[in-house]
Amino acid sequence: MTFQEQIQQGIPAILPQPKAYETNINHAPKRKDILSNDEKKLALKNALRYFEPQHHAELIPEFRNELATYGRIYMYRLRPDYKMYARPISEYPGKSEQAKAIMLMIQNNLDYAVAQHPHELITYGGNGAVFSNWAQYLLTMQYLSEMTDEQTLTMYSGHPMGLFPSHKEAPRVVVTNGMVIPNYSQPDDWERMNALGVSQYGQMTAGSYMYIGPQGIVHGTTITVLNGFRKIKRSPKGGLFVTSGLGGMSGAQPKAGNIAGCITVCAEVNAKITHIRHSQGWINEVIEDLDQLVKRVTLAKANNETVSIAYLGNIVHVWERFDEENIHIDLGSDQTSLHNPWAGGYYPVEISFEEANDMMANNPVLFKKKVQETLRRHTIAINKHTVKGTYFFDYGNAFLLEASRASADILKEENGASPSPSGRAGVGIDFRYPSYVQDIMGPMCFDYGFGPFRWVCASGKLEDLAKTDAIACQVLEEMSKTAPIEIQQQIQDNIQWIKGAQENKLVVGSQARILYADAEGRVKIAEAFNQAIAKSEIETVILGRDHHDVSGTDSPYRETSNIYDGSRFTADMAIQNVIGDSFRGATWVSIHNGGGVGWGEVINGGFGMVLDGSTAASKRLASMLFWDVNNGISRRSWARNEGAIFAIKRAMEKEPLLKVTLPNSVDEQLF
């Protein structure tokens, strides 16, 4: 069968032969055995819903074995034989160009070069899934190949519920992931519902089909590192940035350090992913010996080098050894998947990677104890460095939150202690160290409307990406001529980024790009793309963004950690964002429970939009992108964030139909 025919057949009427388990692929760890015997029977029934009754007797023992061996029913035998990657949009079968674009993005999320655990349909973060099983993938692709622009596909946590009549201006796909009743948002609730096949953790851009490989976070990490060095008033040249995690999104850290121009040491316990990142060129050197690491970093500091070094081992040893050797760390962070601490997101010290994986599945109580012991030890080592002047920040991976739950010395001291590094207290837990959003991304970017705008060239052509880079750069340079001083630095950083994008070889998977832009920049860049498509200078472009943005995510310890009016734990903004995007022209929308900080800790939403050069696309992009950003600025303004007040006033001056309620400040002396 051709690729198109395989897509159109969906779940095959004649079952394919079982497939061998490929040991050379990076697989998800075994999930813990959490279901009762009755629940295991229910999980099998749920999985068998996708198949005709004549296949059930053959599949029951196979699916039972998968559940026992891996803790999930992935339906490995249904994995397609064709190569998984984002093909040019013209190669997808279908009646709707918008649906074809979504198929392209789904396959990009599952590309072996992009996905963390491709056979388990997990894109990043250890559990950020596109689908829960391969039957869902096959059925979804079939539906997309059949749908017209008068239909909408509804996705329930990876399950394609079906095609429903709608209209051309409606989203082609509406995605929800993990939207469970709030009282059932504990980690074990996810484990149980995911094992049953009824809910999944879509992370952010994994389950919304908008991941573009590690490039997506490289840009945000580069901005964070640059502004981190600006905050401590020193040049990145010769400065040392120490962090951990090379899987999924965290693999972007060494590349970002190189672009920023510092020395980066990133620890990782998984040898396979470490060597993958090295082979991809995202890391300069791999070192397995602590003595050698000390010598190499000492030399790099002496020579003011720009270099990225992966230490194959536990990050705790790095922090402790650098303290003993008195190696000064300028910036410190952590980007392990601590939103998923009990299932492979963070590994205990003094235990081998293989032993930890076995303990995780077969002795989860002991594994949790070891992880929490490590978090306490990790924190002690960090605290020793910060006393010496290291600037440490939480990278939005729930490090501070999980360390506090482990009773680590991470909370701000009471009774006359110095203020937290953010300089402000929030409602809820107040940590010794800030989230990077509190100190860097929030006040410097999000409050002014700058966030991770991205696009994908659906043609798959290198020349189309180069042309879009040039168009975006031209728009930004034109904007910089008249932009107020408050946003000049943000614009200049992005001009520098886009000019170096080709040279830094950031593309993994689809021909995609990201840059931080405000509402004005996003609308102008998108319109310039649409005009170029209309003139046949480039082909179809797919717009999107990371959920980690101005308006898409309510997350009290990350995206909204610099909200100080007590509304950090509300999720009105994210819900309003997705509802508003839906009727203003998005091609698809998504809303998720869970993200980079954990199940039950965040609500986040995203979108995708197809540009085809039409006047209808121009109208949609202007309406939707303006709302998508200014919804968040208005909420941040109401929280009395000065940058957001400036930004929303400027937006109202430009758009007479916008009228936002502004806050009044109270004289502190009155209290």
Tens-digit pLDDT profile for residues 608-652: 999 999 999 999 999 999 999 999 999 999 999 999 999 999 999
- For a pLDDT cut of 70, what percent of the chain falls above it? 97
Per-residue pLDDT, 126: 84
Look up the pTM and report it: 0.88
Closest alpha carbon to 105 in 549, 542, 454: 542
The chain-wide mean pLDDT, for the chain, equals: 93
Per-residue pLDDT, 429: 58
Per domain, the residue ranges of the chain are 24-196, 214-395+397-434, 441-663
Taking residues 142-166, report their average pLDDT: 98
Per-residue pLDDT, 414: 55
Taking residues 190-195, report their average pLDDT: 95
Name the token pair of 649: 């006033």
Res 413 pLDDT > 80: no
To which residue do tokens 């021909």 refer?
A: 511
Residue 38 identity (one-letter amino acid): D
Taking residues 44-67, report their average pLDDT: 98
Closest alpha carbon to 443 in 611, 237, 230, 293: 230
CB distance 106 to 595 below 8 Å:
no
To which residue do tokens 């990145």 refer?
A: 236
Taking residues 469-476, report their average pLDDT: 97
Taking residues 569-579, report their average pLDDT: 97
- The confidence band for 426, taking pLDDT boundaries of 50, 70 and 90, is very low
Taking residues 17-39, report their average pLDDT: 93
Residue 31 CA, chain-centre distance (Å), reads: 22
Per-residue pLDDT, 223: 87
Measured in residues, the chain has a length of: 671
Q: Nearest 5°: phi and psi at 284?
A: -80, -45
C-alpha dihedral sign at 444, 525, 98, 152: positive
Taking residues 523-548, report their average pLDDT: 97
CB distance 550 to 531 below 8 Å:
no
Q: Are strands 451-457 and 541-545 parallel, antiparallel or unpaired?
A: antiparallel
Taking residues 246-266, report their average pLDDT: 88
Residue 232 identity (one-letter amino acid): I
Q: How far apart are CA 469 and CA 492, in angstroms?
A: 15
Decide which of 219 and 115 is more confident.
Answer: 115
- The confidence band for 425, taking pLDDT boundaries of 50, 70 and 90, is very low
Per-residue pLDDT, 248: 67
Decide which of 435 and 602 is more confident.
Answer: 602
At residue 129, the 3 state secondary structure works out as strand
Name the token pair of 244: 């951990």
Lowest mean pLDDT among 408-417, 489-498, 542-551, 556-565: 408-417
Per-residue pLDDT, 416: 36
In words, the CATH class of domain 24-196 is alpha beta
In CATH, which superfamily holds the domain spanning 214-395+397-434? Answer: Urocanase like domains (3.40.50.10730)
- The confidence band for 102, taking pLDDT boundaries of 50, 70 and 90, is very high
Closest alpha carbon to 530 in 608, 622, 634, 421: 622
Residue 605 identity (one-letter amino acid): G
Closest alpha carbon to 630 in 666, 564, 593, 584: 584
Domain 24-196 and domain 441-663, same fold? Reply is yes
Name the token pair of 282: 């995202």
Residue 343 identity (one-letter amino acid): A
Res 427 pLDDT > 80: no
CB distance 609 to 543 below 8 Å:
yes
Element (H, E) at 184: none
pLDDT tens string 557-568:
889 989 999 999
Taking residues 495-518, report their average pLDDT: 89
Q: Which are the contacts of 499, defined by CB distance < 8 A and separation ≥ 6?
A: 473
Q: Is 22 exposed, middle or buried (0-12, 13-18, 19+ CB in 10 A)?
A: exposed
What are the DSSP calls for 529-553, one per residue?
HHHHHHTTSS--EEEEE-SSSSSSE
Taking residues 72-95, report their average pLDDT: 97
List the binding residues: 125-126, 203, 268, 395, 596
Q: How far apart are CA 669 and CA 124, in angstroms?
A: 49
Q: Which are the contacts of 157, defined by CB distance < 8 A and separation ≥ 6?
A: 132, 176, 177, 178, 179, 198, 199, 200, 202, 207
Res 72 pLDDT > 70: yes
Res 195 pLDDT > 80: yes
Q: Nearest 5°: phi and psi at 163?
A: -90, 130
CB distance 71 to 33 below 8 Å:
yes
List the binding residues for NAD(+): 125-126, 203, 268, 395, 596
Taking residues 147-153, report their average pLDDT: 98
pLDDT tens string 321-380:
999 999 999 999 998 988 888 888 899 999 999 999 999 989 999 999 999 999 999 999
Decide which of 26 and 475 is more confident.
Answer: 475
Per-residue pLDDT, 122: 96
Decide which of 6 and 337 is more confident.
Answer: 6
Q: Is 667 exposed, middle or buried (0-12, 13-18, 19+ CB in 10 A)?
A: exposed
In CATH, which superfamily holds the domain spanning 441-663? Answer: Urocanase superfamily (3.40.1770.10)
Lowest mean pLDDT among 21-30, 171-180, 475-484, 650-659: 21-30
Res 308 pLDDT > 90: yes
